[in-house]
Chain A
Amino acid sequence: MSHAIKKMFCAVALLVIAGCDGGQSAFSGLGPVSSRITLLIWIMFIGAALITALICVLTLISIAGPANWRHKLTGKKSIILGGIVFPVVTLTALLIYGFLVLKAGGTLVQAENPVHISVVGEQWWWRIIYRHDDGQTTESANELRIPTGRPIKIELSTADVIHSFWIPAYAGKVDMIPGRINTLHFMADKPGIVTGQCAEYCGGAHALMSFYTVAMTPSDYDAWLAKERANAKPAIDNQGEQLFLSSGCGGCHTVRGTQADGRIGPDLTHAGSRLSLGAGILPNTTEGFAKWISQHQTIKPENLMPPFDIFSESELQSLSVYLNSLE
């Protein structure tokens, strides 16, 4: 191997390994469904590695081994054992095991009283709708919050093109298809924060369409949901709210408790309490809001919010302070 190729190989390998680390990895297996899938992946991976190694050894023997070994290898018995019996047994075992893993998801499907959430894929963000037991709903965006230890049922749909909803740490990808509602079931074992990503190319800003998933203890979750369900607190910074309403932000964004009732962009009622902005791409801070408002077409090219390069420094500041205060 030449030096350059070696270097490149190392770089790629490092990238691959780095990708397996942290919150957006199919190897982290943080719920019963995904941890079984992870186990299955490991069994397959290690098994395949062992089989490959065995084949290599056999090949070596058949080329350069002692004559009597080579003779044995070409015998009828070894062909029947190694070529027919072995694959049939291993593959059948894997199949049965696979069914068992699937069934683990199946028991979640039948679980009673799951946490019921709808997620709508939009170019290029996520509309998240929490469905309460009393039939009412609370809308949020770009962040999924779930309680631990309870089955979660997510209904996936799309407002425009095909997207794919994927939280690698908890479950496999499920497509969001126009005119259909797909359902995804999973469960989180312990509290934690992981990321998810759109996994089906959906146009311009597809690569910048992620979200955080926050698993919380059931009591924390209930408290959070009650707060999320409430309207926005009356603004302390009146100037910021005034700017928000008079500049037309309310035509696309809802802030419950104000006149802003637009349904085109993300609900901002509690925007300040989320972890990120712009579907997982900016930190949720006053500076983050200012950066989003003044530069979002550079940071997330082609996103569907119009560019607003009209604010003075101080206007931008009050607007950002206001949005950040929407906790």
Chain B
Amino acid sequence: MAEPVRSRLRKLLPWAFGLFVAGIVLVLTIAYSGIYSVAASAGHPDWLDWFFALGKRRSVIVNSMTIDAPVLDLAELVPLGAAHFQGGCATCHRTPGQALNPVYDQMLPPPPDLKTHAPMWTREQLFWIVRHGIQFTGMPAWSGQDRDDEVWAVVAFLEVLPLMEAGDYRQYARGHSEAQNYSIREIVSEGKTKINLTACNRCHDTDDAPPMSPYVPRIGGQNKAYLKRALREYHSDLRQSGFMEPIAAELDDEHINLLADYYASLTVSLGNPARNPSTPKLEPGRQLAEQGDRSRKIPACLSCHGANKRPDYPRLDGQSEQYLRQQLQLLQRGGRTKTPHGAIMTTIAKRLTEQQAEAAAVFFASQPSAEQVGHKAGEGLRQ
């Protein structure tokens, strides 16, 4: 650089520094003086709105660039996404056919109607928004830590939401739960009937229907001690799930005991999810379940998940392939290590190859659930 330019720059330096400090002092003075109103009622000046909108859009676009969206099976995911939307998002974002509660409409910015807003984003961008939330707006992040796998069900739902009529939506959001028609006396004292967050039937199995989605586990006929433990673990943030934690947070010990009793004694009269893979396809999984794999130091799954095992270990028979695969992948990622039981299974899951996890999921999904074995007068599959 030429000498005169350099010396001029050197002279400018103190001025620049002075300006910088003055700027900081100005900002602090404005903040301290209280001149700027943070009132939501005041709204944002247009330039600030524009600035925030730009920042949000660019941030979502840039941050979601590295995300690889999987193929989404809408039929499997939408019911779960809808049920969660009802419990976790509808308060702010309204449901189809319903006006937004004026309380939430007064947020700044107000939560948008996603029927019109969801199509503005790509699948990856929707994922990123629902997974991470949006600063300065009140849009929360996903409530299950490191449970990115769960978010896709909600994304699938958001993609079909624009096409949904109020009736379709209600059907999904309600699942198997029944709308009671309160009499006017009941309405007066109980309030209008609504779909309750803690209505398990919205997602889980009933005595005559499978879960609403293969990503929701069967809990009817599951071991009582395991059900209790699982609900307590969701309740106290020891087991992560964005779907179950908000629900379990509302349950106290008494509810948990009642629910575990109820589901443990629920007899499942329904057959298996309609799939019946051919036997050769089942063979590797059966091998693993009954014998394990000595070369990889994997014990037989049935030595812990078979008949007459500890009641605080889960049964796997009749659980869907999707759920089993998802949980095995979660265990392999170390997503269930916060509890002693989870630590046992994590050790074993980490020894499984991808193909072995797949094979085990296929095998256990093909097995009739424990109840049905019992019904057939004990002529069980195993000794």
Mostly helix, strand, loop or mixed at chain A's interface?
loop
Listed by A's residue number, 27 A-B pairs whose Cβ atoms lie within 8 Å are A245-B308, A246-B308, A246-B310, A247-B304, A247-B309, A248-B299, A248-B309, A248-B313, A250-B303, A251-B292, A251-B304, A252-B297, A252-B303, A262-B300, A264-B292, A264-B294, A264-B297, A304-B297, A306-B347, A307-B340, A307-B343, A308-B340, A308-B344, A309-B340, A309-B343, A310-B340, A310-B344
Q: Which of A290-313 contact B (CB under 8 A)?
A: 304, 306-310
Whole-angstrom CA separation of A206 from B128 in the bound complex? 45
A227 to chain B, nearest CB (A): 27
Q: Once A and B bind, how many residue pairs between them come within 8 Å at the CB atom?
A: 50
Question: Interface residues of B toward A: which range?
Answer: 10 to 19
Whole-angstrom CA separation of A251 from B341 in the bound complex? 16
| Chain B residues in 8 Å Cβ range of A247 | 304, 309-310
**A: number of interface residues (CB 8 Å):** 16
A→B interface (CB under 8 Å): 245-248, 250-252, 262-264, 304, 306-310
Whole-angstrom CA separation of A250 from B300 in the bound complex? 9
| Chain B residues in 8 Å Cβ range of A262 | 292, 299-300, 303
Contact status A307-B344, CB under 8 Å: yes
Contact status A248-B294, CB under 8 Å: no
Given contacts A248-B313, A307-B344, 20 further A-B contacts (CB under 8 A): A247-B310, A248-B303, A248-B344, A250-B303, A251-B292, A251-B303, A251-B304, A262-B292, A262-B300, A263-B294, A264-B294, A264-B297, A306-B344, A306-B348, A307-B340, A307-B347, A308-B340, A309-B340, A309-B343, A310-B341
B→A interface (CB under 8 Å): 292, 294, 297-300, 303-304, 308-310, 312-313, 340-341, 343-344, 347-348
Whole-angstrom CA separation of A185 from B340 in the bound complex? 45
| Chain A residues in 8 Å Cβ range of B309 | 246-248
| Chain A residues in 8 Å Cβ range of B294 | 263-264
| Chain B residues in 8 Å Cβ range of A245 | 308
Contact status B299-A310, CB under 8 Å: no
10 closest A-B pairs by beta carbon, nearest first, are: A251-B303, A251-B299, A248-B304, A306-B347, A309-B340, A306-B344, A310-B340, A248-B303, A246-B310, A252-B299
| Chain B residues in 8 Å Cβ range of A310 | 312, 340-341, 344
Whole-angstrom CA separation of A309 from B343 in the bound complex? 9
| Chain A residues in 8 Å Cβ range of B297 | 252, 264, 304
Whole-angstrom CA separation of A263 from B294 in the bound complex? 7
